[in-house]
Every structure is written in structure tokens, then in C-alpha cells.
Structure 1
Amino acid sequence: MLDVSRRMLCAATLAAMLALAPEAQAQKREFTFAYDQPKTSGYGAAAEMFNRKLGELSKGTLSINQYPSAQLGTEAQTMQKVQTGDIDFVLLSTANASTAQPESGVFSIHFIFRDEAHAIKVLGDPTVIAAMKELYAAKIKGAHMLGLGSQGLRHIYGKKAVQKVADLKGVKVRVQATVTEDTLFPAYGAQVVHMPFGEVYTSLQTGVVDMAENGINNYLINKHYEPAPVLSLTEHEANNAALFVSDKAWSSLSDEQKKWVQASADEISKNEPAIAFKLEREALAKLEKMGVKIVKDVDKSGFQQVSKPIQDKLAKDLGPHAVKVLDLVRNVK
């Protein structure tokens, strides 16, 4: 009789477990997370960081499926897709986010970030993050910003060195499609050319553009040193990024799940920029070993003299949120 009871109990327990299995399975969710750089980039490090923290907080019930290297489209395209809810999360440059909110271009104003340490502090500063959230919320529909990231500082590369501002006169430079770039590079004497990042390699190869500008690790992992073997360390601009979530995905989450997602984004803002700059230093060392010409003695004074009077006017033209963010950036010590 005892054995029968035990068997009945075991059967009842198994039946209960099987009944709960589909429900437990249904609670697990995997979100799409897109970015336009390889997994070995700062973007990839950010995605891994986000996924790890989200899995930890949700006890494995929430995770992301990464789509690196522009698998789901260019940055401008993925910005649109996150707004329509076709992508759950997207990490993209604040420069390219300006296609949806022009004031985002404030983060691309040249020489407002004093150095690596300053950029890292700014991106992790709660006041700056809050101001950037307000900036995007004022214009963007269908998605909102969760956090900030980095891919280091930007530099200019091509077949010739850029040692002073005069070296850019008449040069065709591929830049990100922002009012900021379209104002500052012509002020240096350059001609600006817009194109998706994926077309830069071929354009450098064929002479559609003479030069491009980006972070060191991006220059390395995308092999831009092949058509453009001279890297000039101009440090003219911060290579900032923003993480967005679609309103569609956000509204489907419980209050607790929203806290997990935000905490995972906070992890990026606090820790990813330092990793990105570490990747930059490692990439520079690799490039030097490979024999790529690195121009370290760039005279930045000419660039700074041209850009400084333009900084405040650019921010004012962009809008009140941009003016506020620029002031906050300058005041981060």
C-alpha cells in the first residue's frame, strides 16, 4: 500500500512539473540587440556586459540575441527599426542617432572632451545621462534611451598624414551625417562626404573619399588600414554611443523587468567606456607592430582655434537640450 502511495505521489509530482514546464518556458524571453560593429568592438563588449547583467538579475529568464556588424541594417536604419518596434535594442553612435534627433549632434562637437579620463567620467555621469535622456525624449517617438557607451576618441586616416589643420584643405573626408560634422570639417577646409560605415573601405580604396575618421579599434578590426595606411591621432571628437530600447519591448515588461533592463544599461554607462579605451590602446599597439604609420605629433592647436568659437553656436543652433548638455560636459571635472 505504501509503494502504491509513493508511486501515486511521484506521478502527481511529475504531472505538476510537466504542467508547469510550458509556463516556465513561456516566461523566458530573448530580445534582439543590434549594432554595426564586430563583436570584438566596444559595442560587442557593451552587448556582452548588458546580457550578463540581465541574465543575472532575471535569473536567466531574459537574454539578448546579438546582431553585430550591421546584420539588421545601418545605424540610421536600426534607429528607425527600434522606433517601429522591429528591433528591441540598438546600440549606435550618438552622431548617427542625430538622424532621429538632431540635438544628439552635441556629443560630436569637436574638442569638448578634454581627454580619455574626461570622456569616461562624462559618459558615466548621472546628470549627463539624465540630460541626454531628456534630449532624446523631446524628439524621438517609439523608443527611448537607456544608457551611454563609447568607442574611444576619433582620428583621421588616409594615404597621407594630417599633422596640422592645413593638411585637410580640399580633402574629401567621409564623416557621420550630422550638422556638427558638416559645419566643422568644412571650417578646417575639408569636403565632407556621407555614406554608411560599410561602404567606407571600398570608398577609400577607389578614391571616392581621400580620408575617413573613426576610433582606432574600428580602424583596425574593419581593416581600414589596408586602403588608408596612415593614421593621424587628431583626437578631434569623442566616439560616443547610446543604447535605445523600443517602446514596444519596454511596454511589454513588468515593472520589475524594467528595473532589470535599466540596471543592465547602467552597467554599460559605468563600465563599458573604460573597456573601449583599453581596446583603443591595444589596437594602437597592434597597428604599430603591423607597420601602420601612426602620426602622434599632430598639432591640434589649429583645429582647436577653428572649432572653439563654433562650439557654442553649434549647440545653440541644435537646440536648448544641446546647450544644456554642452554645459554639463564642460563642467565634469
Structure 2
Amino acid sequence: MAKALWRRMALASSVACVALGIAGQASAQNRAFSFAYDQPTTTAYGVAGNLFDAKLKEVSGGKFSINQFPGAQLGQEPQMLEKMRAGDIDFVITSTANAASVSPQAGVFSLHYIFRDQGHLTRVIADPAVAQAFRDMISDTVKGGHVLGLMTMGMRSMYSKKEIKSVADVKGQKVRVQATKTEDTHFPAYGAQTVHMPFGEVYTSLQTGVVNIAENGVNVYLANKHYEVAPILSMTEHEANNNCIWVSDKTWNSLNDEEKKWVQAAADEVSKVEPAKALQLEKDSAEKLKKMGVKIVDNVDKSGFAKDAQPIQDSLAKELGPHAVKILALVRNVQ
């Protein structure tokens, strides 16, 4: 009797061990990756995160998903880039301008007035040749991470306590810009003085007068309440607010070929769907700001800005490097 009981207990133990082993194998196949960005979830970054997560779950059959860390929980973009390259974060979204901190040629996307309109911008972001050229550039110039795809938040415009109706209104003004050679060349051409600082310091700097003007997308301006300290948004639309999705090499190299296809498919979905959603978000944000009493200057004379920017485009692209020259040509050729 005791012997039979012992056998039943041994069998039950063996079954339990097998079950645990199977469960362990199943859980090992399920991965939740860290996905970080420095804007609120209400911005296009949040839109991109949700699109990426939904597509990744779909193509992986639920095996892969992401945990989003918005609002600079894991640092500002330059810090997140370093953490991603070290393998501490799986995926990050950064502006292409901040990508220039590790690959200066990425500054080509910050060239002013190279996008004819929002429709052209949308088509450029979705263009496979442009995306591949950008990925090739990062592959050749950056260690520790690479770019999966491109996205956009629309156009960047300037905001201040005063109206900006023409290029004359920025002469002598202190403008907060992202730290790229591109912006450090364009804004002085308009007669402005550039100031670099992390995005998280912009609100206080506008409030205290450390800078007179800042520039960003309409939704970012709304979501971060910059209208409280700079209540006039002037639609200069001088530069595209482009972004890229990065993956850590450590994470990428841990995936098999099929899993890499899942991740790339998720990034491709963002590049395909996000731009239209982002531009609608910009439009909705502008309407909300107007109802709040924020003054939006739509009739900015952009001709002076464009005239000063045009001669810089080719010379700066050439100075940045061959990848930048190629990408600029591809952008111009998108119909």
C-alpha cells in the first residue's frame, strides 16, 4: 500500500515538473520590451507606441509586446540614446535632430524648408528608399543600436510672448534649438542667437527670459503647456518634426530571424500609419489652443526665412557627409 502511494506521489511529482517545464518554455517565448520616449502619451509619440505594440502583438501571436515609458521617465532623448546603446533600454523614439548627437548626418532632416508641404512630408516618411538610406546611415555611423523606421510629428513652428510675422522678428532674439549643426547654422542666418538646453528646461527658460523663443510642433506645445509662458504660436513651419524608432543592438541580436521580422513589421506599421494621425493631432491641437485663447499667427511671411535657408541646404548637407547628400536628394525627388 505504502509502495503504491509512493509511486503515485512520484508520478504526480514528475507530471508537475513536466508541466512547470512546459510553462517555463512558454513564458520564455513571451517578451515584454521596454519602449521609451520623452513626450506625454497624448502626443504622436504615444500614438506610435500604441501602433507599434498592437502590430507587434498581432504578428507575433501575442508572444511579443512592449511596456511604454513616456514623459522622460527613463531620461531625455540624449540620455535614452546612451542607455539604449548600452542595452539598458530595448526601444526608444528620438527626434532625428537628437539622433544627430550620435550620428551628425541625421541633421539632414532638420534642414529648413526642404519639405514642400505636409503631404510631401508624409510621403517622404513612408518612402522605402528614404527609410533605407536613413537606416544605412545609422548602421555605418552608430554602434550599439540601429534605426527601424521613421515617423513625424508634423512641422515645427516658433512660439514666444510676441508675434513672429517675418524673419525680421527673430533678429537678435535668443532661440532655444536642438543641439545640431543644422539648426546652429540656419537660425544665425535669420539673425537669431541659438541656445541649447534639454527639452525639460524649456518651460522655465521661457518663463524667466533665458530664451525669448522656442520652437516645436503644435501638439508638443499644447501637451507640455508651453502656451502658459509663451502664449503666441507663430506658424513658421520652418522645419519638419521628424523622429526615428531605435532598437538596441543587444535586443536585436537576441532575436531570431522570424522575431526580427515581427519587430520590423511593427516599425513599418508606424511609418505607414502614424504620419496621418500625427498631422490630425496637430490640427486638433491648434483648434483646442484657439478655444483656450492662445493666439495663433497663421499668416507668417515665410519668404524671408526660405530665402535665407535655401543657400544653406546643399552646402550643409555636403558638409554633414555623403549619407546626408543622398538623403536630401531622395527627399527632393519624392513626388
Normalised TM-score (structure 2): 0.95
Asked if residue 323 in structure 1 is aligned to residue 322 in structure 2, the reply is no
Q: State the distance in 2 between where 1:81 and 1:16 align.
A: 38
Asked if residue 299 in structure 1 is aligned to residue 301 in structure 2, the reply is yes
1:84 Cα deviation after fit: 1.0
1:196 Cα deviation after fit: 0.5
1:83 paired residue number:
85
**CA deviation vs aligned residue, 1:49-98 (integer Å, no higher than 9, x gap):** 00111011111111111111111111111111111111110111000000
Q: State the distance in 1 between where 2:111 and 2:21 align.
A: 58
Give the alignment's Cα RMSD to 1 decimal: 1.5
Runs of 4+ in 1 over 2 A off after TM superposition: 11-19
Say which of 174, 180, 183 aligns to 1:181: 183
Q: State the distance in 2 between where 1:66 and 1:179 align.
A: 31
Q: State the distance in 2 between where 1:279 and 1:326 align.
A: 27
Say which of 42, 64, 67 aligns to 2:66: 64
**CA deviation vs aligned residue, 1:295-324 (integer Å, no higher than 9, x gap):** 001000000000001110010010000000
Report the residue type matching 2:260 in the other structure: K
1:196 paired residue number:
198
2:34 aligned counterpart, secondary structure: strand
Q: State the distance in 1 between where 2:190 and 2:22 align.
A: 66
Asked if residue 213 in structure 1 is aligned to residue 238 in structure 2, the reply is no
Q: State the distance in 2 between where 1:15 and 1:248 align.
A: 32
Say which of 295, 301, 310 aligns to 1:308: 310
In structure 1, runs of 5+ residues without a counterpart are: 1-6
**CA deviation vs aligned residue, 1:216-275 (integer Å, no higher than 9, x gap):** 000000000000000000010000000110100001011110000000000011111111
Normalised TM-score (structure 1): 0.95
Q: State the distance in 1 between where 2:328 and 2:82 align.
A: 26
1:122 Cα deviation after fit: 0.1
Say which of 46, 63, 73 aligns to 1:44: 46
1:138 Cα deviation after fit: 1.5
Say which of 279, 284, 302 aligns to 2:286: 284
1:64 aligned counterpart, secondary structure: strand
1:143 paired residue number:
145
1:117 aligned counterpart, secondary structure: helix
**CA deviation vs aligned residue, 1:183-204 (integer Å, no higher than 9, x gap):** 0001001100000101100110
Q: State the distance in 2 between where 1:327 and 1:119 align.
A: 14
Say which of 153, 166, 169 aligns to 1:167: 169
1:19 Cα deviation after fit: 3.7
Q: State the distance in 1 between where 2:28 and 2:267 align.
A: 24
Q: State the distance in 1 between where 2:325 and 2:28 align.
A: 46
1:156 Cα deviation after fit: 0.1
Q: State the distance in 2 between where 1:195 and 1:268 align.
A: 29
Report the residue type matching 1:205 in the other structure: Q
1:210 Cα deviation after fit: 0.5
1:256 aligned counterpart, secondary structure: helix
* Residue correspondences, number: 326
1:114 paired residue number:
116
Q: State the distance in 2 between where 1:215 and 1:128 align.
A: 22
Q: State the distance in 2 between where 1:169 and 1:101 align.
A: 30
